[in-house]
Amino acid sequence: MRYLDFVNLSYEPKETDVVCVFYVEPDGVSISEAAGGVAAESSIGTWTELTTIKPYVKELAAHVFSIDGNTVKIAYPIELFELGNMPNILSSISGNVFGLKTIKHLRLNDVYFPSELIRSFKGPKYGVEGVRNLLGVYDRPLVGTIIKPKLGLKTADHAQVAYEAWVGGCDIVKDDENLSSQKFNPFEDRVIKTLESRDKAQEETGERKVYMVNITAETEEMLRRADFVLNHGGEYVMVDILTCGFSALQSLREQDFNLVVHAHRAGHAAFTKNPRHGISMRVIAKISRIIGVDQLHVGTVVGKMFETREEVAENCKAIREEMKGLKPVLPVASGGLYPGLVPALIDFFGLDFVIQAGGGIHGHREGTVAGAKAMRQAVDATLRNIPLSKYAEAHRELKIALDMWGTGHQE
């Protein structure tokens, strides 16, 4: 079987097939041969005919069943994959094919998984409903912050910043993606002291508060850290899902800890930023949901990140839409956010998402407490259909925030 033998435009995908949507840019060959190369190399073929292919092996061939310009759809028989093994699946559909000489550019834009494959993974334990039940907040977006500066604060100062954010009105405080267990802020000490701050803030405000501690590490150490968080009264963990790897993420989810899993996507742009090459964030979102995260960064539309409105909408769709019984995942907007952007964020995301601001809270010139208050005030104003500038007349913290950073895109 040569590359062109894997092109069958009359093939009708089966319900059990894995279907991938690629952007394919050939290099020195036709689009059909380039597409056939992707199908061959990710299933049973290679660059030449083989004497070792038996008749029964041919039944496992992937099929290029649609070519529309540079958009190519390929169906893979489910028998090609080991169920419950995401590294195996990704090694096939997004592995060596990116290095083919016949391909100038290749991007995996979407993937559709059959029910049998999805059911072989745990999926989200909590999802949107579980997170809302944990916090007891049902009628507004959740407000969160990232400790800033992201690195350098000693443990006591880290815990104090968290306390101030919670007292000011944040529901959530999160470590940044590169805070682990450095000497200036060791993991165990940080967990204990920050959870003490959480308890103090809960008592003073009467609101539930949560701390997302970054447990990203070598897999066994990551599991140990998750257990440490659970044993010290924590309810959340954060994982850098791409740098720790989907295998480690799956190992964490298989433990079935009573912990909400917050997925940070550090490093995603290495795959997702080039529209002609790599893997879309939509694919990463689907994979993460199937494995079992409860929250996921999806972009902001109005912040400092590069993604377009359409891309962020697709990311949200991937974690919210019906998918073989999986719970919907809570989208997280993070990256260059401040109170003036809240109306635009709510207009785009609705109510079921997390507004997560770092500099837009800690950069408030009156400090973290005031920054958190300003963010909650912006949420309250938006939900009451009051322009931020009008609401700010009676809310000092919001007024200062608007003076500092403006009103973004909403007024």
Catalytic residue set: 148, 264
Distance from C-alpha of 388 to C-alpha of 402, rounded to nearest angstrom: 8
Taking residue 186's Cβ as centre, other Cβ atoms within 10 Å add up to 14
The answer to whether 85 touches 117, Cβ cutoff 8 Å, is no
The answer to whether 190 touches 152, Cβ cutoff 8 Å, is no
Burial of 352-373, coded b for 16+ CB within 10 Å and e otherwise, reads bbbbbbbbbbbbbeeebbbbbb
Distance from C-alpha of 229 to C-alpha of 387, rounded to nearest angstrom: 41
Distance from C-alpha of 194 to C-alpha of 161, rounded to nearest angstrom: 9
The answer to whether 283 touches 314, Cβ cutoff 8 Å, is no
DSSP bridge pairs for 213: 237
| Cα–Cα–Cα angle for 390, 392, 396, rounded to 5 degrees | 160
Residue located via tokens 């999802």: 127
Distance from C-alpha of 236 to C-alpha of 238, rounded to nearest angstrom: 7
